[in-house]
Amino acid sequence: MKDEKQLLSKVTKRLDALSKLPMAKEDKELESLLNQKGIERRDFMKWAGAMTAALALPASFTPLTARAAEVASRLPVIWLHMAECTGCSESLLRAEDPSIDSIIFDTINLEYHETIMAAAGYQAEHNLENAIKKHNGNYILMVEGGIPTIEHYLTIGAEGRTGAQTCREAAQGAAAIFAIGTCSSFGGVQAAHPNPTSAAPLSKIISKPIINVPGCPPSEKNIVGNVLYFVMFGTLPALDAFNRPKWAYGHRIHDLCERRGHFDAGEFVQHFGDENAQKGYCLYKVGCKGPYTFNNCSKLRFNSHTSWPIQAGHGCIGCSEPNFWDTMSPFEEPLSNKLYQTAYNGLGADKTADTVGTVILAATAIGIAAHAVVSSMTKSKTEE
């Protein structure tokens, strides 16, 4: 209790200090934006309560989470695009019915963002240099996309700087660095076999602490939640072995899935569109990778929080895991099929970290497949 009080007072002081910083001239206060969208204060506070719980903070932090959202606009953000599809930005920016999360993102002081800025060419390059100089030591750097490491791929600007160079320069003065999306966190599709540009994750390019926010795309709440955490505490949240925030990636999709009861009961969709699919049975046998994937999709959902892939009838493809294009595909087949095959092909002959990871994944997949078979058999017996 004493620790909680001390922490509350520390966060309050930090937010007081941040609220005294000037806003960018063209930015609007969050309150006026919420009013414009017809969102009442009561709904905003409800959102703050839910976000506080999502961040695994005590309920007493709710007013501070709300305040952090209000002062988040004081913290400049530099957002770089590397090799990617811009899907992570699009998912935040193209919200037809914007959630409070995306409205907060609208208020964030985006000093540099290639997709939405008006400037181009030399002007854009100057803007980036100026933003780095002006906010040295105080900005959040967000990087979207994998980073090609073979020279001449992804060169930027008149001097032909590489994407990797731009990342390194921008990282030097950053107060916090977020790799946004799976490509920036783990390389993504760019780094999938045969990886012709030798694309790498941001963590292989710069040597400062990075918080990975993977997903294809990641949920807007997972991005905004990390910004708020940094605004409140000035530090990064607790991270897992892959530098993902535990508050967002601490549970498997399988642990939080609404179809989990069917998995445990041995009730599986055998083919897309079959009778079991109509009954909402488990999607493991048509390729769901939920048992091997850590993310909070089932809680947050997509498209204004209305649905998510498993609810819509397709299995999880494991998009927030490292190397998912190579390890999780084909997406419509159970992972165990592929791993049995891999085992017959001599798994374990080379002793790389990837192979060790694959062996663990294989053991898990085989265990889960065995469970699926046994529970299906038990189920058929009961039905007989």
Q: Which of 147, 254, 294, 317 binds ligand SF4 (CB under 6 A)?
A: 254
Q: Is 267 exposed, middle or buried (0-12, 13-18, 19+ CB in 10 A)?
A: middle
Torsion angle of the four alpha carbons 56, 59, 60, 61, in this order, in degrees rounded to the nearest 10: 50
Residue entry with tokens 């399988």 = 254
Judged by CB under 6 A, the residue of 66, 216, 257, 317 near ligand SF4 is: 257
Residue type, 200: A
DSSP one-letter string for 176-202: EEEEEHHHHHH-GGGGSTT-TT-EE-G
What is the nearest approach in angstroms of ligand SF4 to the Cβ of residue 374? Answer: 15
Q: Which residues pair with 268 in a beta bridge?
A: 282
Question: Looking at beta carbons only, is 183 or 368 nearer to ligand SF4?
Answer: 368
**What is the closest distance, in whole angstroms, from the C-beta atom of residue 256 to ligand SF4 in the complex?**
8
Question: Strand 211-213 to strand 174-180: parallel, antiparallel, or no bridges (unpaired)?
Answer: parallel
Confirm or reject binding of residue 310 to ligand SF4 (CB under 6 A).
yes
Do β-strands 174-180 and 109-113 pair in parallel, antiparallel, or remain unpaired?
A: unpaired
Q: Looking at 11-19, 61-69, 285-293, 373-381, which segment touches ligand SF4 (CB under 6 A)?
A: 285-293
**Binding residue for ligand SF4, selected from 259, 295, 325, 369, defined by CB under 6 A:** 259
Q: Is the dihedral of CA 68, 17, 89, 175 positive or negative?
A: negative
Q: Which stretch binds ligand SF4 (CB under 6 A): 16-24, 64-72, 179-187, 249-257?
A: 249-257
> Of residues 290, 309, 318, 322, which one binds ligand SF4 by CB under 6 A?
290
Q: Is 288 in the site for ligand SF4 (CB under 6 A)?
A: yes
Provide, rounded to whole angstroms, the least separation between the CB of residue 290 and ligand SF4: 2
Residue nearest to ligand SF4 (CB): 290
Q: Which one of the spans 55-63, 144-152, 206-214, 257-265 is the region binding ligand SF4 (CB under 6 A)?
A: 257-265
User: Stretches 190-198, 210-218, 252-260, 341-349: which one binds ligand SF4 (CB under 6 A)?
Assistant: 252-260
**C-alpha to C-alpha distance for 307 and 229, rounded to whole angstroms:** 26
Please state the closest distance from residue 362 (CB atom) to ligand SF4, in A: 17
| Size of interface with ligand SF4, in residues (CB under 6 A) | 15
Omega within 30 of 0 (cis) for the link into 196: no
**Cβ distance 269 to 285 under 8 Å?**
yes
Q: Identify the residue among 112, 263, 292, 308 touching ligand SF4 (CB under 6 A).
A: 263
- Examine residue 140 and tell whether it contacts ligand SF4 (CB under 6 A): no
* Cβ proximity of 75 and 139 under 8 Å: yes
Among 58, 146, 73, which residue's Cα sits nearest to residue 322?
Answer: 146
Residue 328 lies near ligand SF4 (rule: CB under 6 A): no
76 CB neighbour count, 10 Å cutoff:
20
Residues lying near ligand SF4 in the complex (CB under 6 A) are found at 253-254, 257, 259-260, 263, 282-284, 288, 290-291, 310, 315-316
